Each structure stands twice: as C-alpha cells, then as structure tokens.
Structure 1
Amino acid sequence: MKKTRSLTALLFTLFPAISFAKYVTPDEFWQIEKAQQPLIIDVRTPEEFSKGHLANAINIPFDQITTIENYLTDKSKPILLYCRSGRRAELAENTLYTLGYKETFNGMSYQLLQTAKPKD
C-alpha cells in the first residue's frame, strides 16, 4: 500500500496534469470570431463580467461551465473562452473537452482581447 502511494505521488510529480487547452493569440481569437460565429464565453465571476466584457459574450463562471448545455447542445460549434489571465479559461476548456466539446479555444486575457479587437 505504501509503495502504491509513493508511486502515485511520483507520477503526479513527474507528469503535469493533462491539458486539452488550445491557446490562441488575440489575433487568432478575432479571426475565429469573425469567420466561424462561435459562442463566446467569459468564465470570470459575474462581478468581473459586470465591470466589462466582450460584446456577444455570455457569462458562465468556470466552476459552472457544465451548465453549457443550457446554452449550446451542438458540440461541434466553436467556443471561444477567456478570463483575466487564461487559467480559469483553461480549466473550463478541459471540462468542456471531457463533455464532448472539441472545438474550444482559450483566448486567455480579456484585457488583451479588448485591446486587440479589430476596429469595424
């Protein structure tokens, strides 16, 4: 038993958590937004969302991302995610992947995306 625990601890030390996150640059984020009409999800808290968010974004906090099926049942539709730094979007993206949503992209930072948004 002790040997098994030691082996498990060693494996977690040697191998980082599996991540399915597909990071995109701000320019790539906006190209996907324009070309594919994805669902844009802000995974920050409602308080953060209320202080500013991308146009057309919906707010689903990262720890509630499993409620996605209330908004989107088509698992082939692209989803763009963002938060303050990208970490919560990565966590949400990994959860979405396990739920069967494979076309997910992490745009990371709201501030960077807002700054890089193309002028229409």
Structure 2
Amino acid sequence: MIKRIMALAVLTASLIVAPQAFASERAQQAWQWIDSGAVVIDVRTEQEFKTGHVNHALNIPVSQISDADLSSIAKDASIVVYCRSGSRSQKAKQILLTKGYKHVHNGGGLQMMLSEKPDSK
C-alpha cells in the first residue's frame, strides 16, 4: 500500500511539473525564433494587446486571422504566435499552416514568454 501511495505521489508531481516545463521550453524556443528574425503575432484581443505585448508584435486576434491580409508575410517566413495561455495561439498556428505558412511556432502564453525572455533573466 505504501508503494502505491508513493507511486501516486510521484505521478501527481510529474503531472504538475511537466506542463510547466513544456511551457517554459516552448517559450524559450519562441525567443530563439524571434532572435533569428521571426514575425511575431499576438492573437489576443485588441484590449488584451493594449495591456502589454511582446515588442514589435503584430496584433491579429485569432478570430480575425483567417481573413487577415497577411500578404506582407512570406509563406516561408518564421512566425511565432502567442496568446494568454497557448490555446488560441495553437488554433492560430493551425490556421496559418492551412494557409500555406510553413514555419509557425506556438510560443504559448505571454506571461511565460516574458518570464523566459533571455535578457530578463
């Protein structure tokens, strides 16, 4: 019985830590792309964007990304999308891939990205 409780405790701890580690890795990779010249798109609402965003990010809410004029962005350009938690940016990533963009990375949530910004550590 003690072994089962210990196994359950280890499993529970890994379920708590793993998503945080994944989000951190995702944000770190986003910064690598950004540092290499990727286009950055904040897919949150305009109101959310006004409360803070990554420098030089375009604001194209996920609800508008399907119809947005993206002709200024080459299909082979590297693009990083982000939102509040990573959910809307995952949807935006899928939309961009179906529109023919080849290199799209979901940076996840803004707060995680800002916490992983290389010069902020």
Q: Which runs of 5+ in 2 are unaligned?
A: 1-22
Q: How many Å apart are 1:99 and its aligned residue?
A: 0.6
Match of 2:95 in 1: 95
- Does the C-alpha gap of structure 1 residues 34 and 41 become closer, same or farther in structure 2, counting only changes over 3 Å? same
Output the TM-score relative to the length of structure 2: 0.74
Match of 1:30 in 2: 31
Secondary structure of 1:52's partner? coil
The total of aligned residue pairs comes to 96
Percent identity, aligned pairs only?
Answer: 38
Match of 2:107 in 1: 107
Q: How many Å apart are 1:119 and its aligned residue?
A: 1.2
Q: Distance in 2 between matches of 1:106 and 1:68?
A: 20
Q: Distance in 2 between matches of 1:104 and 1:91?
A: 11
Secondary structure of 2:118's partner? coil
Higher helix fraction: Structure 1 or Structure 2?
A: 2
Superposed CA RMSD: 1.7
- Does the C-alpha gap of structure 1 residues 58 and 31 become closer, same or farther in structure 2, counting only changes over 3 Å? same
Q: Which amino acid is 1:32 matched to?
A: W
Q: Distance in 1 between matches of 2:30 and 2:99?
A: 22
Q: Distance in 1 between matches of 2:77 and 2:34?
A: 12
Match of 1:45 in 2: 45
Secondary structure of 1:54's partner? coil
